Amino acid sequence: MTSAIHVTGLNKVYDNGFQALDNIDINVEKGEIFALLGPNGAGKTTLISAICGIVTPSAGQVMVFEHDNVKAYRKARSHIGLVPQELTTDAFETVWNTVCFSRGLFGKSPNSKLIESILKSLSLWDKKDAQIRMLSGGMKRRVMIAKALSHEPDILFLDEPTAGVDVELRKSMWEQVHRLRETGVTIILTTHYLEEAEEMADRIGVIDKGKIILVEDKNVLMKKLGKKELVLELYKPLKKLPESLATFKLQLANDGQQIVYTYDSTKEDNGAVTLLDALKQDGIKCKDFNTRQSSLEEIFVGLVGKK
Amino acid sequence: MNLHGIAAIYKFEMNRTWRTIGQSIASPVITTILYFIVFGSAMGSRITDIDGVSYGAFIVPGLIMLTVLGQSISNAAVGIYFPRFTGTIYEILSAPLSFVEVAIGYVGAAASKSIIIGSIVLATAGFFVPLDIQHPILMAFFLVITCVTFSLLGFIIGIWADGFEKLQRIPQLVVTPLTFLGGSFYSITMLPELWQKISLLNPVVYLISGFRWSFYESSDVSLGVSITMIFIFMALCMAVIGWIFKTGYRLKN
């Protein structure tokens, strides 16, 4: 597969000595949705800024579709659209003008039809002549996306795209992102909403304290690090678990009404059947059961917590 | 060269000017009218001609310079400082634009606005004193080159400033005094000899002197020296901007 972005040995040390990026190596393939996760101050925005040319790295190299973003910055940057975390727009400019301005900056000639279709797809067409200061937060967020799409980028960076956005708009943005991916756009998103990464990403990278902790296919990651739980609802509550069940590492929950069995879903014999036999032998009757997969959020907390 | 990018910045900045057209134009025009009433009519009628030019007419080039110097600096400084302040600079920095193209866009727009205002001040002056411009092409050249040079200075100030207070510091504490002491309202030959020599250290003297020569063929210093000095000042500004672009000072760090 072709690399959309290839980062090697990227470092950023600020003048005050703070190391925001520590030897970052990362590869994003063309057409994929890559989610970059990390706690506040982990280096997500600095990494995006360094790739986009906003921050000068202290060391390392960024290649965008095989163009060095320093030596061939025009070619490299022309592939990229950026939706920053902050709603930074010129408040007194109209939606139409600000989107046209963004297209011009990237060296593209005016294209009214394209801008019209972008604004319509983001439900901004009826606001095209409105000053940005008159728009709601959600609309401003969509204006930022329209600006980033105005020059028809091959790569779109979405830095916390749905921060402060209501559930309905968030879902509609997810749909928009999926539609963009269908047109071949590579998408890199950072988010605090792990549900968002879980919903959208093909691969996930986790960054903490300026270092990439892991990069993994989302499904593989969920399978590898995700644990499954079997929750058994009991007819009669237990005060304590019988000694005979000690080998299963069970937990009593809900005032003894539930037994929770955590197991590795990747193993062929996960021990669930053996547990049910053991419960039967001990005369413990179950009235119901359910299983649940640990979420990306739990995996993420586990990963960052370990560091 | 990214011509569409330069045009986008230029158009964006000029839109900002048109949005505040009343404030942009009315303020310098009213100030000029006040200067003409006070210095041209009230006091000027009691002052003798200077080099054969009535005092009211004598101060016209100085008043235009006073206005365009301040306007050029503030237009360019605000133009680049505001995106830094609001954060919209990310778009400029991530676009396939060289720093030279960015500077052309911002400085070009700032200088254009100053040229328009300078022309309006000149036209306003025509209502108060008879204007007889001996060398109109040279006058236009001086006007354009001054607006561009001081817009370059404003661009530097806009990048250097890290607050609105600093944005005003250089124009208020340095440029305005230099303009007033640079012969806007008098010929430096009217000063004692020592102050004449000290005045020659003021770069604005050369601007006003050359500009005034294009009107009345009379000046404090020779035309060649005036033109040389303004190009030296322009080269200095460009050198500083070149260093800013090379290091990313206050832009990319």
Domain of A246 in residue numbering reads as 226-306
- Residues A59 and A136: beta-carbon distance below 8 Å: no
Q: Which residues pair with A85 in a beta bridge?
A: none
A-side interface with B, Cβ within 8 Å?
A: 14-15, 49, 52-56, 73-78, 80, 82, 84, 86, 88-93, 97, 100-109, 147
Boundary of a domain, candidates A191, A223, A255: A223
Q: Are residues A116 and A210 in the same domain?
A: yes
Residue-wise burial string across A33-68, b where 16 or more C-beta atoms lie within 10 A, e elsewhere? bbbbbbbeebbbbbbbbbbbbbbebeebebbbbebe
Q: Are residues A114 and A248 in the same domain?
A: no
- Residues A81 and A53: beta-carbon distance below 8 Å: no
Residue A252 DSSP SS3: strand
Token digits of residue A135: 């728009």
Give the CA angle between residues B197, B203, B208 to the nearest 5°: 95
Q: Which of B91, B102, B106 to mutate to test the interface with A (most CBs of A within 10 A)?
A: B91
Please state, in angstroms and rounded to a whole number, the distance separating the CA atoms of residues B49 and B62.
16
Q: Are residues A243 and A116 in the same domain?
A: no
Q: Which residues pair with A19 in a beta bridge?
A: A13
Q: Sort out which chain A residues have CB atoms less than 8 A from B251's CB and list them.
A: none
Tell me if B8 and A109 make a contact (CB, 8 A cut-off). Answer: no
Q: Are residues A219 and A247 in the same domain?
A: no
Q: Are residues A300 and A238 in the same domain?
A: yes
Please state, in angstroms and rounded to a whole number, the distance separating the CA atoms of residues B114 and B150.
10
Token digits of residue A194: 């792990």
Q: Sort out which chain A residues have CB atoms less than 8 A from B93's CB and list them.
A: 52-54
Which conformational region is residue B47 in: left (phi greater than 0), alpha (psi within -120 to 50 degrees), or beta? beta
Boundary of a domain, candidates A164, A195, A223: A223
Along the 253 residues of chain B, how does pLDDT read in single tens digits?
889 999 999 999 998 888 877 777 788 788 888 888 887 777 777 777 777 778 888 888 888 888 898 889 988 998 899 888 888 888 888 999 988 899 899 999 999 999 999 998 888 888 888 888 889 999 999 999 999 999 999 999 999 988 888 888 888 888 888 888 888 888 888 888 888 888 888 888 888 888 888 888 887 888 888 889 889 988 999 899 888 887 877 776 6
Q: Are residues A50 and A127 in the same domain?
A: yes
Please state, in angstroms and rounded to a whole number, the distance separating the CA atoms of residues B89 and B251.
8
How many residues does this entry show for chain A? 307
pLDDT value of position A304: 64
Q: Are residues A293 and A199 in the same domain?
A: no
How many residues does this entry show for chain B? 253
Q: Which of B86, B111, B99, B87 is nearest to B13 (CA)?
A: B111
What is the residue whose two structure tokens read 């943005």? A173
How many contacts does A have with B, using Cβ atoms within 8 A?
Answer: 81
Give the CATH number for residue A41: 3.40.50.300
Q: Where are the beta strands (DSSP E) in chain B?
A: none
Q: Are residues A113 and A240 in the same domain?
A: no
Domain ranges of chain B: 3-247
Boundary of a domain, candidates A195, A223, A251: A223
- How many folded domains does chain A comprise? 2
Alpha-carbon separation of residue A227 from A55, A221, A261, A300 (angstroms):
39, 11, 10, 13
Along the 307 residues of chain A, how does pLDDT read in single tens digits?
678 999 999 999 888 888 889 889 999 999 999 999 888 888 888 999 999 988 888 899 999 998 998 889 999 999 999 998 887 778 888 999 999 999 999 999 999 999 999 998 888 899 999 998 888 888 888 898 999 999 999 999 998 887 767 777 778 788 888 888 888 899 998 876 777 777 888 998 888 888 998 888 888 777 666 667 788 888 888 888 888 888 877 888 888 888 888 877 666 777 788 888 888 888 888 888 887 766 666 666 666 665 5
